[in-house]
């Protein structure tokens, strides 16, 4: 246990039990977010999951830290039970997660909602660039795109991803690729991953050397997907935004990528046409 903001007790969990998993999944459902049990598992296995509980052990709030290499860690999953918001629980979990990142000597990164940006700015986080979540609602099943049956070269994908982000995250990409419902769409200059979330398909990361190539990958990625789709696109991608509108996507919400630390990310951000999701960067 660790006491943080206003004496709220924040606990960093060990391996996730089925009871704890149920509590974390409940927070996701109550918040309308898209994460799955597999996502919580990689936070726990490769990083940390921290929670606030009540006297009966029910999980009231959560936060996660996921290291990307030796220099960077992503803070995410700051969730609070709806009936308890505004009481400092989310702030307490966030401060606990930030303390873990600082203790490890890493740069803290996150993708903030507008409300979160106001909070994180108070602690010195600087904005990097904006991201918009585009959403397409479910539609009748269409003919699926032809998928390459060959297994992707995970090392090559991870190398391009590390170059784009500015930090390696081989374990995360390997986890995505190992999921039976993940699809990898590739071209000569990049790739896009499509994975199933709890409420929608998530497209990302989508990496390409040029925006025209990214638009082609996006078209192939969405072909045949009948369910709801999310894709989180940096705001400077005007061509991709136009193509998403033409394909029936609408803006849903905004994020701001932010960071705090002496070693900021120095990636090839022009390669990034869709992030992996605000929980992963």
pLDDT, residue 143, reads: 52
pLDDT, residue 79, reads: 97
pLDDT, residue 5, reads: 45
Distance, in Å, from the CA atom of 75 to the CA atom of 280, rounded to the nearest integer, reads 8
Distance, in Å, from the CA atom of 91 to the CA atom of 63, rounded to the nearest integer, reads 10
Of the three residues 88, 105, 122, the one that is the final residue of a domain is: 105
Cα separation of the two ends of the chain: 28
| Domain contains 279 | no
| 78 & 156 share domain | no
pLDDT, residue 213, reads: 94
| Domain contains 127 | no
| Domain contains 281 | no
pLDDT, residue 40, reads: 98
pLDDT, averaged per 10 consecutive residues of the chain (281 residues), comes to 62 96 97 96 98 96 97 97 95 97 97 94 97 94 55 86 97 95 91 96 97 94 93 96 96 97 93 98 95
Distance, in Å, from the CA atom of 22 to the CA atom of 38, rounded to the nearest integer, reads 12
pLDDT, residue 148, reads: 56
| 136 & 261 share domain | yes
pLDDT, residue 150, reads: 58
Burial class (CB in 10 A: 0-12, 13-18, 19+), 54: exposed
| 143 & 33 share domain | no
| 58 & 191 share domain | no
| 256 & 175 share domain | yes
| Domain contains 160 | yes
Distance, in Å, from the CA atom of 195 to the CA atom of 204, rounded to the nearest integer, reads 8
| 144 & 256 share domain | yes
Of the three residues 70, 105, 140, the one that is the final residue of a domain is: 105
The token duo for 162 is 């590390």
pLDDT, residue 151, reads: 63
User: Residue 63 belongs to a domain with what CATH number?
Assistant: 3.40.630.30
Cα distances from 190 to residues 14, 126, 209, 245, 262, in angstroms, run 37, 29, 7, 22, 30
Helix 211-222 crosses helix 238-246 at what angle (to 10 degrees)? 30
pLDDT, residue 173, reads: 96
Residue pair 168/162 in contact by the 8 Å Cβ criterion:
yes
Distance, in Å, from the CA atom of 36 to the CA atom of 72, rounded to the nearest integer, reads 23
pLDDT, residue 224, reads: 86
């Amino acid at each position: 246990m660790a006491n943080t903001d206003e004496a709220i007790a924040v606990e960093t969990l060990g391996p996730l039990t089925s009871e704890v998993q149920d509590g974390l999944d409940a927070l996701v459902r109550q918040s309308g977010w898209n994460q799955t049990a597999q996502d919580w598992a990689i936070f726990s296995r490769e990083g940390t999951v921290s929670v606030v509980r009540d006297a009966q052990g029910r999980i009231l709030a959560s936060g996660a830290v996921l290291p990307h290499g030796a220099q960077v860690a992503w803070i995410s999953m700051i969730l609070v039970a709806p009936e308890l918001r505004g009481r400092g629980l989310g702030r307490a979990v966030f401060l606990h997660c930030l303390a873990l990142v600082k203790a490890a000597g890493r740069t803290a990164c996150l993708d903030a909602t507008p409300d979160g940006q106001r909070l994180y700015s108070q602690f010195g986080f600087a904005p990097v660039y904006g991201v918009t979540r585009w959403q397409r609602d479910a539609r009748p099943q269409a003919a699926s795109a032809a998928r390459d049956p060959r297994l992707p070269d995970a090392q090559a994908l991870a190398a391009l991803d590390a170059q784009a982000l500015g930090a390696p995250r081989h374990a995360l990409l390997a986890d995505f690729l190992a999921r039976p419902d993940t699809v990898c769409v590739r071209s000569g200059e990049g790739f896009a991953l499509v994975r199933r979330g709890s409420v929608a398909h998530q497209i990302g990361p989508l990496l390409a050397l040029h925006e025209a190539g990214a638009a082609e990958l996006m078209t192939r990625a969405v072909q045949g997907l009948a369910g709801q789709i999310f894709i989180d696109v940096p705001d400077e991608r005007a061509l991709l935004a136009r193509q998403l509108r033409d394909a029936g996507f609408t803006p849903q919400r905004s994020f701001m990528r932010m960071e705090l630390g002496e070693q900021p990310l120095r990636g090839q951000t022009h390669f990034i046409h869709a992030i992996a999701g605000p929980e992963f960067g």
